[in-house]
């Protein structure tokens, strides 16, 4: 989809920083995983931006309604609540931001990705197969996402003003498309994946225990449920307030995080709640993540959560929406 990009430039000392860009993509929602507007075969639609998914996807209904063609390929997708077989579909053209591209491939899912937003149906997601071709700038506090290709830029975040902190990351998954990093939970190292498709940051029970949280303590916390690639809901998780979470040099005090047994190969999920309160720049080429914190720690509400009780006393439903992130396997 490189043909989507238009060339811009900004002056830098001793040279020129060239930035290819689609322009700022408006984020259509204020909470949860970011959603942007697209056109698919001329139809207006919306898609979730999901850094934790290997593949870009579209729901079965819109795939048929928009006239996508079946390529004959089948993939086996797995996620936190189970798996499914999915055909690979082809769209003749897709529009995003100021650009339009032809021949776009999307994996078709039987599950629904949501209802309507800004008059557009939410039909699927952009995964790491698409995002990995760019530098991705999440500025969700300002309601926008930028997709860039940089050349000759000494500043790794050339559209930002002010300081930022750097976090080195490593590649996860069979194809190395997902973003892994080490965080510190209550001062203990844990492995994590940056996952904009997860509404809320979630750690594994074993990681919580290493951070000093007992099973008895978790049993007193709020219960939560999650949904996954196959649309099934999974219960058994808890919401717990930890003492601290450190991401690179940035320390977030008293975060409320999910604790749940997820099928993530031992990785916590650093979710959209983190992105909603911080500017985050992802360089896939240099395997760097840059964080620009917008408020000092004492005023930072990054990992706070508004709890909505449903039906039974003490119950809480948190949409820790997990879409496919495990490596796909081609089936005959």
Paired residues of 269 in beta bridges: 193, 202
Question: What integer pLDDT is reported at residue 235 of this predicted model?
Answer: 64
- Return the CA Rg of the chain: 20
- The CA distance from 266 to 181, in Å, is 12
- Residue 242 belongs to a domain: yes
CATH of the domain at 101: 2.40.70.10
Do 27 and 111 share a domain, yes or no? yes
Do 95 and 205 share a domain, yes or no? no
Do 133 and 93 share a domain, yes or no? yes
Half-sphere CA count of 7, side-chain side, radius 13 A: 4
Question: What integer pLDDT is reported at residue 23 of this predicted model?
Answer: 85
Do 82 and 127 share a domain, yes or no? yes
Do 291 and 166 share a domain, yes or no? yes
- Residue 10 belongs to a domain: no
Residue 214 DSSP code: -
Is 208 in a helix, a strand, or coil? Answer: helix
- The CA distance from 60 to 54, in Å, is 18
Question: What integer pLDDT is reported at residue 299 of this predicted model?
Answer: 86
Number of domains the chain contains? 2
- Residue 306 belongs to a domain: no
Do 110 and 173 share a domain, yes or no? no
Tens of pLDDT, residue by residue, the chain (332 residues): 434 544 444 545 456 899 999 889 999 999 999 999 999 999 999 999 999 999 999 999 999 999 999 999 998 776 554 567 899 999 999 999 888 888 899 999 988 898 999 999 999 999 999 999 999 999 999 999 999 999 999 999 999 999 999 999 999 987 889 999 999 999 999 999 999 999 999 999 999 999 999 999 999 998 887 655 445 555 678 999 999 999 999 999 999 999 999 878 789 999 999 999 999 999 999 999 999 999 888 888 899 876 655 554 444 444 444 433 333 333 33
Nearest CA to 198 out of 25, 327, 79, 55 is that of 79
In the block, tokens 């959209």 appear at 272
- The CA distance from 230 to 112, in Å, is 9
∠ CA 290-152-150, rounded to 5°: 50
- For residue 4, report the phi and psi dihedrals to the nearest 5 degrees: -70, -25
Do 120 and 231 share a domain, yes or no? no
- Residue 320 belongs to a domain: no
Question: What integer pLDDT is reported at residue 10 of this predicted model?
Answer: 54
Question: What integer pLDDT is reported at residue 316 of this predicted model?
Answer: 46
- Residue 6 belongs to a domain: no
Query: Global pTM?
Result: 0.85
- Residue 309 belongs to a domain: no
The domain of 134 spans 18-138
């Amino acid at each position: 989809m490189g043909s989507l990009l238009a060339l811009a430039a900004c002056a830098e000392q001793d040279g020129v920083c060239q930035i290819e860009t689609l322009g700022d993509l408006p984020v259509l929602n204020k909470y949860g995983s970011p959603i942007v507007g697209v056109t698919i075969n001329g139809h207006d639609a919306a898609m979730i931006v999901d850094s934790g998914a290997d593949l870009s996807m579209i729901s079965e209904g819109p795939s048929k309604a928009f006239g996508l063609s079946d390529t004959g390929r089948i993939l086996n997708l797995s996620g936190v609540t189970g798996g499914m077989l999915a055909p690979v579909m082809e769209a003749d053209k897709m529009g995003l931001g100021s650009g339009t591209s032809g021949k776009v491939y999307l994996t078709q899912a039987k599950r629904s990705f949501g209802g309507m937003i800004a008059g557009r149906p939410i039909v699927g997601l952009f995964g790491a197969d698409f995002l990995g071709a760019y530098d991705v700038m999440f500025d969700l506090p300002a309601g926008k996402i930028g997709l860039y290709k940089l050349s000759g830029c000494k500043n790794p975040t050339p559209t930002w003003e002010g300081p930022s902190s750097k976090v080195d990351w490593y590649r996860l998954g069979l194809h190395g498309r997902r973003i892994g990093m080490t965080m510190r939970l209550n001062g203990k190292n844990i492995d994590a994946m940056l996952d904009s498709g997860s509404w809320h940051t979630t750690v594994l029970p074993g990681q919580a225990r290493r951070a000093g949280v007992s099973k008895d303590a978790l049993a007193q916390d709020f219960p939560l449920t999650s949904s996954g690639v196959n649309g099934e809901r999974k219960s058994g998780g808890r919401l717990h307030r930890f003492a601290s979470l450190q991401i690179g040099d940035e320390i977030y005090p008293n975060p409320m995080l999910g604790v749940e047994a997820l099928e993530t190969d031992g990785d916590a999920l650093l979710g959209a709640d983190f992105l909603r309160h911080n500017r985050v720049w992802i360089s896939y080429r240099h395997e760097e993540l840059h964080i620009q914190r917008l408020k000092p720690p004492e005023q930072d509400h990054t990992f706070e959560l508004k709890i909505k009780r449903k039906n039974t006393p003490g119950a809480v439903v948190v949409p820790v929406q997990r879409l496919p992130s495990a490596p796909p396997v081609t089936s005959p």
